Structure 1
Amino acid sequence: MGLTLYYVEGSPPVRATQLCIRALGLNVQYEFVNLFKKENLQPAFLEKNPMHSVPVLDDNGFIIWDSHAINEYLVTVYGKENDSLFPKDPKLRAIIHQMTHFDTGLAFPTFAGMSFRVLFAKKKDILEESIRRTRDVYALVEKFLEKTKYIACDHITIADFSIVTTLTTLEVFVPEISNYSRVAAYIERCRTTMKDYQEANQDSLDMFKAAVQERLNRSSL
């Protein structure tokens, strides 16, 4: 049966898991979930994930959802012994968790609010509060990167998969990352060093950006 990932194009968490999958060199079957047709609300999917979110990983019948938990699981089960993506050092693991919780608590919800407003509520504007929160995210990441090349340390960890995908998607709505030199350099560093970055993140991000721009150019309903 192997590994199956339930996904939707454009989703930052899905792209974070795709980056992890590529980094580990895993063979994964993909199952598309159409959120606009509410396939994520069907009983069969809700049985897998009552939160009705993507991604969802099925590992030979073991089901786990939330990209942060999925990535930690994949590295723990399929990575190398003491894999640098999620090292056993408890202090470094604490920092990695700290950064993934930052994504869960502030960065991703900021994206989610803007995404829902534009793609599902069909609004043409971005709320000023959302713009302010996005700038807060950029400023905090700029601060985090004062002492390290990547978000948790000086090498790529699973925290980077989450942070870089969320950051690059926030930029679709608030294109001001160039004002934050460390953040801009960090994204470029991830682009050039993460395995299959183009296929795992950029291609899907470009599709998401086109969808957002199409919605913003339409008249409000």
Structure 2
Amino acid sequence: MSPTIYKNNVSPPARAVMMVAEILGIKYNSFEINPLLREQDTPDMIKKNPMRTIPFMDDNGYCLGDSHAIMLYLFDKYGKPEHSYLYPMDKRKRATINQRLFFDCGVLFPRLRSVMAPTYGGKLTEISRSMKINIEDGYRMLEAYLSDTLYLADNVITLADFSVITTMSTLHGIHPIDSNKYPKLMKWFSNVSEQEICKKINKTGAEEHVASLKKFMETNKLNQNKKSKI
């Protein structure tokens, strides 16, 4: 039986999993979750994924959360020799890819989440100075990672690039990359964004995510202005 991926196309991590699944030719069952309606908080969903995040996967009773873990699992189970460039056998290359995945999970995405949570919670009206500083710091690290290779972990695209591009697509939309300060990062962003798989799966969802955040910020500002006049 095919695995089921619980997702939402606007979610950056979900799009990363969707792109990898598409490349690997996996026919999966898709189950749409709306996180704003807390559809991931039902008892059945919490049992499958205690983190209550999307995406998560149910592969015939084997449940797994976190997009990075899911991507690695799918590669290990469904990857063929022609997919080896995504996660090569060389131990150092794999270690570098792992580090970039952990960077996305532990450093970069939390900086996006720090914007998302108060925005969707009705509190944030614009990105704060401290948020911008943290995002810029993420850009600085990515620029350094790209000092010796065309892509984040190698001179060919890997799982790390597909993971990070989804986070970066939203970050760039709300706080654009300065190509003068981060020329390598801007070149990488353009190159990965032009991949057919990114145009097919990542582009629309990223645009919707950016538009949603900006719209919520506008609404939050209007609501706060109304309250201040009462």
Q: Which TM class, normalised by the smaller chain length?
A: over 0.9
Corresponding residue for residue 94 of structure 2: 93
Amino acid at match of 1:33: I
1:204 aligns with 2:205: yes
Shift of 1:220: 3.6
2:135 alignment counterpart? 134
Is 2:21 the counterpart of 1:21?
Answer: yes
User: Structure 2: which 5+ residue stretches go unaligned?
Assistant: 225-230
Aligned residues: CA RMSD: 1.5
Matches within 5 A, 1:13-52: 13-52=13-52
Residue 31 of structure 2: SS of its match in structure 1?
strand
Identity among equivalent positions (%) equals 31
CA distance in 2, matches of 1:111, 1:32: 22
Runs of 5+ consecutive residues of structure 1 not aligned to the other structure: none
Tell me what 1:183 maps to: 185
1:164-216 CA deviation, whole Å, 9 max, x = no partner? 111111112212343421111101111223x4212211110111112112112
Q: Tell me the alpha carbon deviations over residues 54-110 of structure 1, each in whole angstroms, 9 at most, x when there is no partner.
A: 100112222111111100111111011472211121111110111111111210000
Amino acid at match of 1:36: L
Normalised by the length of structure 2, the TM-score is 0.90
Query: Are 1:56 and 2:65 an aligned pair?
Result: no
**Greater percentage in helix:** 2
Number of aligned residue pairs: 220
What secondary structure is seen at the aligned counterpart in 2 of 1:152?
coil
Tell me if the contact between 1:8 and 1:14 (Cα under 8 Å) persists in the aligned partners.
yes
- Tell me, in whole angstroms, the C-alpha distance in 1 between the residues paired with 2:178 and 2:29: 34
Residues 21-69 of structure 1: CA deviation (Å, up to 9, x unaligned): 1211221221111112211111010011000001001122221111111
Alpha-carbon contact 1:171-1:177 (below 8 Å) kept: no
Amino acid at match of 2:90: D
Mapped to 2, the partners of 1:65 and 1:88 lie a distance apart of 24
